[in-house]
Amino acid sequence: MESAVLRGQVRLTELSFSPSFDLNDIASVAGGTAGSAAPPGGFAQNLDFDIDVVSTNDVNLSSSKLSLQGAMKLRIRGTAAQPAVTGRVNIAGGDLMFRGNRYILEPSTVDFVDPYRIEPRLNLSVSTKVQDYDIHMLLRGTLDTIRTTYTSEPVLPPSDIINLLVFGKTTEFQAANPTPGVLGAQSMVASSVSNEL
């Protein structure tokens, strides 16, 4: 009980969501919060992890709102109280349904580089079609500091793209019918899409 190690390799051949699956529940258990640290000297502090998680081939994962295809190679270290993950998840493709729009996930990566905690770094490429516009978004950074780049065909300024995604209208149309500011909309798009992922 004072010095245990959980060691081994997990080989993923298939993944699926249960109907009640909630990623937020998993994230809160895995990452913990500042107020939920294990008591000093408890078993969770004394249980060290040395686990490799690999997918044996491309893994398909789908639910009613999300489908993903990809592969992963991760290392879980640290303790049960403070786990750390390093490695990479390669996303070959997928779909995300959000606010009635279908977003297509293009080849992307999620890297875990911090050897002391669980902090994914996103490099996601997502596209969608709103009205007659093909919209492409690049989401890069950590969940706390995500940067989003917007492009479209035909070309629109980023403010119009954000308005199209959030309100279904360009800023020219928006000017005739004012609604809340674009900055809040941009923040909502980036955080909502990354939370869904």
Which tens digits make up the pLDDT trace of 48-57? 999 999 997 7
User: Given this model, what pLDDT does residue 144 score?
Assistant: 87
**pTM greater than the 0.85 cutoff:** no
Q: Kindly tell me if the per-residue pLDDT of 31 is higher than 50.
A: no
| 24-52 average pLDDT score | 66
pLDDT in tens, 120-145: 999 999 999 988 899 999 999 998 89
Give the pLDDT of residue 30.
46
Give the mean pLDDT of 23-30.
53
- Between CA 151 and CA 155 the distance in angstroms is 7
In 39-176, alpha helices (H): 43-46, 158-167, 171-176
Average of per-residue pLDDT values in the chain: 80
Q: Which residue has the higher pLDDT, 112 or 15?
A: 112
Asked if the model's pLDDT at residue 16 lies above 60, the reply is: yes
Would you say residue 186 has pLDDT above 70?
Answer: no
Q: What is the pLDDT of residue 33?
A: 44
Q: What is the pLDDT of residue 34?
A: 41
Whole-Å CA distances, 37 to 10, 40, 117, 167, 177: 26, 9, 13, 41, 49
Max CA separation in the chain (angstroms): 68
Is the pLDDT at 119 greater than 80, yes or no?
Answer: yes
Determine the pLDDT at residue 36: 47
